[in-house]
Amino acid sequence: MRQIITVAHVVWLEMIRRKDFYILFILLSALLIWLMIFDVFGLTTVSGYIKDLGLLAVWIMGWILALNTSIRQLPQEEQRGTLFPLLAKPISRLNIILGKWLGSWSITCLALLCFYITLWLGITIKEGRFDYATLCQGFLLHCAALAIVCAMGLALSTRMNRDAAATTAYVLTGTAFLMLPKIPSMLIHTQGVAGALLLGLYYLFPHFELFDIRHRLVHDWGCAPWLTVCEILLYAVLMTSVFLILAWLSYRNRRFTRENLT
Amino acid sequence: MKTLSPTFQGLTLLITFWIFASSLACVLAASRPLQGSDDSLLDRLLGESRKTLSVTFYNQADVYFHKGVTHTQPTAFQDTLFQQWGNIITPRQHVHAEGPLSAEILPWLKLAAHADPHNVDAYLVASFWAETGLNRHDLATGILKEAQRLNPADYRIALEKARMEIRTAQYEAAMNSLDHASILLAQNPLDTESDMDKAEICTFSGFILEMKGLTEKAVVNYKNVLVIFPERFYIKERMAILEAGGKPVDSAQDLLKRLTRQTAHDACKDEDENHDNSKHINHNG
C-alpha cells in the first residue's frame, strides 16, 4: 500500500506543477460569470440554467481532466526514461498501475471538488440553492464515474502511445455516455449482426449515464434512493477493477527498450 | 510549470474558441436589429448551426416545463439491470412546472432567441409564459416589443400582442393589433400555420366587432373564416343568427375569453406526449 501511495504522490505533485487544472478552472469561472451576467428578460432570481450549464461544464471538464491525467502517466514515464529506474526498484507492475490510477483518480476528484465548490458559489451569489444531500450524492457518483474513466484511460495507455490512447479513450467514453442509453430504442429497428453487436456493446461498456444525476440537482427532485446509489457504486467498483485488471494483464509482461526514448 | 500536452492544448483552444464564438454571436445578434433578411454576414458565417442551436435551447425549455423529464422512447427490452437502475435514478413522472418554477423556463427561451433572433416562436412562448405563468404583463409586453424590433415583418408577434390585449380586456388595442397582423400576414404569409392564424385573426376581429355592435362587419369576418375552414359549424350558426337579427346564446366577450384563456398545461394536454401519465403532478416550487 505504501508503494501505491508513493507512486500516487508523484502523480499529485506532477498535477500541481502542470497547468491543466488551472486552465479548466479559469474556463469554468469565465463560463459561470458569463451565465451570471446573462440578462434573462430582466429576471434576477432564475438560476436553473446556471446549474444546468455549469454542471454540464463540470462534467465535461472532469472527463477531460481524468482522461488526460490517467492517459499520460505510463507513456510519459516511458518517453522520459524514468520508467527504468522505477522498474528497477522493488515495486511490482501491479502496484505501479494501482498507484498511477489512485493518483490520477484522487487528484481528479480533488479538482472536481474545486469545480463543484465554484459552481455552488456561483449559484449562491445568484440567490439559487442546491439540495446539499443530492449535491453530495451527485459528487459521489461523479467521482465513481471518473474512477472508471481513469482506469479505462490507464488500460488503453499500457499498449498505445499517448495520442492514440487519448483519441481512443475520448471516443469510447463519449460514445458510451451518449449512445449506450439509446441502444434499447435502437434495437427496435436493428436486427441481425448489427443488433447483436449493439447488444454486446450495451452489456460490455460502462454505463456512465447511471452516474449522472444532474436533472435531480437542477430540477430539485431530491436524493435518489441510497440503496440504488450503493448498487451503482458497486457497479463502478466492478468496472474499475475490470479495467485495472486488463491494464495489469497488458502491462505485466511488457518489455521496454531504451531505443524508444525521445 | 511544464508545457501542456498537444491533445490538451487542442481541447483548451477548441473550448476557448467555442465560448468566444458563441459569446460573439450572441452579442452581435442582439446588438443590432436583423430585418428578417438572411443575407447578413452573421447568417452567412454561422448559417444553419445558429438555428440548430436555437432549436436546441427552445426544446430545452420544454424539458424544463416538464421538470427535466424527457419524452420516453419505445425500447426493445425493458427489464435489464441498467434500465431498472436508470428508472430509479431518473424521474419519469409527467410533471409540470408552475408558479415561480415557470421562470426557470425563460432563460432557455432567451438563449434560443439570442442564438437566432428570427426564432419568433421563442419570443412568443416566452411572452406567453411571462403572461400566464408569472403573471408579468409588463415582462410579456417587453418581450414582444423586442421581438417586433428584430422581426418587424412577422405577423405572429402582432397576433400574440392581440391575444394578450384580449386577455387584459383592451379590445380597442387588440383590434388595432389584429389589423396590423392581418396586413403583415397578407404581405408575408408563412408556409405553414398561415391559414390557421388568418382564421384566428378573422374570428377575433369578428367577436370584437360584434361587441362594438358592428354586426355586418363581424359577419364579413366570419365569412372569411368559412372560406378557409368551411366545416366550422359554430361560426356558420352564429353568422346565421346575426344575419337574422338574433342574439347568439354565447356572448362574443365570453367566447373571446374562452379562446384566449389557454394555459401551457392545456397546450400540453393537446399533445400526444410520451410521459408516464399515471403520475401527473403540477409542481409549484
Predicted-complex ipTM score: 0.84
Q: CB-based contact (8 Å) between B126 and chain A?
A: yes
B11: closest chain A residue by CA: A64
CB atoms closer than 10 angstroms to residue B88? 17
Give me the phi and psi of B267, to 5 degrees please: -60, -35
What's residue B264's pLDDT? 61
The pLDDT of B152-176, averaged and rounded, is 90
B12 vs B182, residue with greater confidence: B182
Rounded Cα distance, A248 and A152, in Å: 12
Q: Which chain B residues are Cβ-neighbours of A49 within 8 angstroms?
A: 104, 107-108, 111
State yes or no: pLDDT of A257 exceeds 80: no
CA distances from B223 to A90, B82, B247 (A): 95, 59, 18
Rounded Cα distance, A232 and A44, in Å: 38
What's residue A15's pLDDT? 85
Q: Which of B7, B89, B126 sits opposite A163 (nearest CB)?
A: B7
Q: How far is A18 from chain B (nearest CA, A)?
A: 5
State yes or no: pLDDT of B14 exceeds 90: no
What's residue A7's pLDDT? 87
Q: Do B142 and A42 touch (CB under 8 A)?
A: yes
B230 vs A97, residue with greater confidence: A97
The pLDDT of A154-164, averaged and rounded, is 90
Rounded Cα distance, A179 and A173, in Å: 10
The pLDDT of B48-75, averaged and rounded, is 84
Q: Evaluate whether A130 touches A217 at the Cβ level (below 8 Å).
A: yes
CB atoms closer than 10 angstroms to residue B39? 8
B79: closest chain A residue by CA: A184
Spatial neighbors of B94 by CB under 8 A, at least 6 apart, are B66, B69, B273, B275, B276, B277, B279, B280, B281
Q: Which amino acid is at B90?
A: T
Q: Evaluate whether A31 touches A122 at the Cβ level (below 8 Å).
A: no
Rounded Cα distance, A156 and A143, in Å: 20
Q: CB-based contact (8 Å) between B233 and chain A?
A: no
Interface mutation target, options A14, A41, A134, A170, chain B, most CBs of B under 10 Å: A41
Q: CB-based contact (8 Å) between B274 and chain A?
A: no
Instruction: Give the CA radius of gyration of chain B.
Output: 23
Q: Do B5 and A72 touch (CB under 8 A)?
A: yes
Grid cell of A173 as nine digits: 467514453
Spatial neighbors of B149 by CB under 8 A, at least 6 apart, are B33
A125-158 pLDDT, tens digit per residue, is: 888 888 899 999 999 999 999 999 999 999 999 9
B46 vs B151, residue with greater confidence: B151
- What does the mean pLDDT of chain A come to? 89
B101 vs B41, residue with greater confidence: B101
Q: What percent of chain A shows pLDDT beyond 90?
A: 51
Q: Which of A41-45, B45-49, B114-118 has the lowest mean pLDDT?
A: B45-49
Q: DSSP state, B245?
A: T
A27-82 pLDDT, tens digit per residue, is: 999 999 988 888 777 777 788 889 999 999 999 999 999 999 999 988 888 888 88
Grid cell of A169 as nine digits: 479513450
B134 vs A148, residue with greater confidence: A148
What's residue B280's pLDDT? 46
What's residue A167's pLDDT? 92
Q: pLDDT band for position B33 (50/70/90)?
A: very low
- What does the mean pLDDT of chain B come to? 79
The pLDDT of B234-259, averaged and rounded, is 84
State yes or no: pLDDT of B261 exceeds 90: no
Highest mean pLDDT (candidates A226-240, B64-78, B128-142)? A226-240
Spatial neighbors of B175 by CB under 8 A, at least 6 apart, are B205, B208, B209
Q: Is B37 helix (H, G, I), strand (E, B) or coil?
A: coil
Select from B215, B217, B143 the least CA-distant residue to B179: B217
Interface mutation target, options B72, B89, B98, B106, chain A, most CBs of A under 10 Å: B89
Select from A34, A17, A31 the least CA-distant residue to A61: A31
Q: Is A76 helix (H, G, I), strand (E, B) or coil?
A: helix
State yes or no: pLDDT of A88 exceeds 90: no
Q: Do B86 and A209 touch (CB under 8 A)?
A: yes
The pLDDT of A228-247, averaged and rounded, is 95
Q: Evaluate whether A59 touches A108 at the Cβ level (below 8 Å).
A: no
Q: CB-based contact (8 Å) between B64 and chain A?
A: yes
Q: Which chain A residues are Cβ-neighbours of B1 within 8 angstroms?
A: 17-19
Highest mean pLDDT (candidates A222-231, B59-68, B87-96)? A222-231
Q: Which of A41, A213, A220 sits opposite B89 (nearest CB)?
A: A213
Q: pLDDT band for position B34 (50/70/90)?
A: very low
Rounded Cα distance, B94 and B96, in Å: 7
Grid cell of B137 as nine digits: 404583463
What's residue A102's pLDDT? 94
Q: Is A113 helix (H, G, I), strand (E, B) or coil?
A: helix
Q: Evaluate whether B159 touches B259 at the Cβ level (below 8 Å).
A: no
Q: Which of A43, A167, A184 sits opposite B106 (nearest CB)?
A: A43
What's residue A231's pLDDT? 95
Q: Evaluate whether A148 touches A210 at the Cβ level (below 8 Å).
A: no
Locus of grid cell 352564429: B238
- As a 3-state breakdown, chain B gives helix, strand, coil percent values, each rounded to 5, of 70, 5, 30
Q: Do A225 and B88 touch (CB under 8 A)?
A: yes
Q: Which chain B residues are Cβ-neighbours of A43 within 8 angstroms?
A: 103, 106, 139
Select from A57, A64, A219 the least CA-distant residue to A153: A64
A90 vs A111, residue with greater confidence: A111
Q: Which of A38, A41, A184 sits opposite B76 (nearest CB)?
A: A184
- Evaluate if pTM is beyond 0.90: no
Spatial neighbors of B185 by CB under 8 A, at least 6 apart, are B155, B194, B197, B198, B201
Q: Do B88 and A45 touch (CB under 8 A)?
A: no
